[in-house]
Structure 1
Amino acid sequence: MAPSHVLVPLDGSPLSDEAFERALELFDCRLTVLNVVTPLDASMSEGGVLEPGEARRQSARDRADRVVERARERAAAFDRPIETAVETGDPAEAILEYVDGHDVDHVVMGGHGGERGVIARRLLGTVATSVVGDAPVTVTVVR
């Protein structure tokens, strides 16, 4: 069954951009782009190294706004309207919460490999691995 609402989490990486392009090409339905701002005091952020401050918070928010604005511009090239959202929190948790709260029935996201020691995480990335494992909907990972 074709999806009616596709969520594409974007983090500004080439793989997430590729996932967005694929979603635009493959799915003719409601499309939402989500960027998750990781709090500066979270373990995945720079908070462990630098003191959090309003300037850093604003910089992170500005970056998120640029990511979703670029997505709007790319979607316009496909003559496609999109919805955008910016959330704050743990990326995997924020994606899963968005899926649960917004009638999303398919997620298309980039996967990031790296030296993590676990095969699935090396193949997909930690956020993608969490979403694939816990999402109640189909997840397509672009590598």
Structure 2
Amino acid sequence: MYQDVLIPTDGSDGTRRSIEHGLAIADQFGATVHALSIVPEGPLGTLEAEEATPAAHRAVERVQLEAEAAGVDVVTAVEHGVPHEEILDYTDAHDIDMVIMGTQGRTGLDRVLMGSVTERVVRMSDTPVVTVRLTEDLRIEDADEAERLARDALEAEGYDREAPLTEQPHRTSASWIVPVELADERVHVHVDAVSRETRVARPPQ
């Protein structure tokens, strides 16, 4: 019934539950998950263009990591354009059977924009759209605490807990990503901001 499930993500906390729902549906039907993030342009453009592209890649990385852990096939894409138009175009181009979206975006202006994007996709899509709200409270909102848990995870897996960071921890999809430089490779330690679970992963190349 469902072969391809699309999860648009902006990396905000509100996408956490849409990722969970999308992966559960894909797992049930043996479907492929498509993780899509849009770098906004045009009338919905962001004033933080330089930060938007790496943030978009981190957002789809989070979905990829969760999908791989769940044994679900996944493909990722980052596009540039007007968000709802890019989501609709991707849906048509890849024969998507279901779109699963969060109704809350980032705080401030972006939160308003995320709600607007979801509303437009629901109204204009010929493909079924499932909307999901974030209902869980974050337990980790401090980067220092996320880094401490990440270093605990490194030590537990036999890595150097004092390894240097390649950049500061950042939060995406209600999880912290802590980038670390080990002796022979770079890894990302993902720390779930709700459950406090950790996972050491190699970032996509």
Q: Give the letter aligned to residue 38 of structure 2.
A: V
Contact 2:15 2:104 in 1 (8 A): no
TM-score, normalised via structure 2 length: 0.55
Partners in 2 of 1:7 and 1:21 — Cα distance? 12
Question: Which consecutive unaligned segments of at least 5 residues does structure 1 have?
Answer: 116-121
Matched-pair identity in %: 34
Partners in 2 of 1:107 and 1:80 — Cα distance? 16
Partners in 1 of 2:93 and 2:3 — Cα distance? 15
Contact 2:100 2:130 in 1 (8 A): yes
> What residue is the counterpart of 1:6 in the other structure?
5
**Count of aligned residue pairs for this structure pair:** 126
What's the secondary structure of 1:103's corresponding residue? coil
Question: Of 29, 34, 37, which residue of structure 2 is paired with 1:35?
Answer: 37
Q: Give the letter aligned to residue 36 of structure 1.
A: I
What's the secondary structure of 2:101's corresponding residue? strand
Question: Which consecutive unaligned segments of at least 5 residues does structure 2 have?
Answer: 134-205
The Cα RMSD (Å) is 2.5
Larger Rg: 2
More strand by share: 2
Shift of 1:85: 0.6
Partners in 1 of 2:82 and 2:33 — Cα distance? 22
Contact 1:96 1:131 in 2 (8 A): yes
The answer to which structure, 1 or 2, has the higher relative contact order (CA under 8 A, 6+ apart) is: 1
Partners in 2 of 1:112 and 1:68 — Cα distance? 17
What's the secondary structure of 1:125's corresponding residue? helix
Contact 1:112 1:126 in 2 (8 A): no
Partners in 2 of 1:85 and 1:142 — Cα distance? 21
Ranges of 4+ aligned residues in structure 1 off by more than 2 Å: 41-44, 112-115
What's the secondary structure of 2:71's corresponding residue? coil
Q: Give the letter aligned to residue 46 of structure 1.
A: L
Partners in 1 of 2:72 and 2:25 — Cα distance? 12
TM-score, normalised via structure 1 length: 0.78
Give CA-to-partner distance per residue, 1:63-101, whole Å, 9 cap, x none. 211111121111122122201011001111110011111
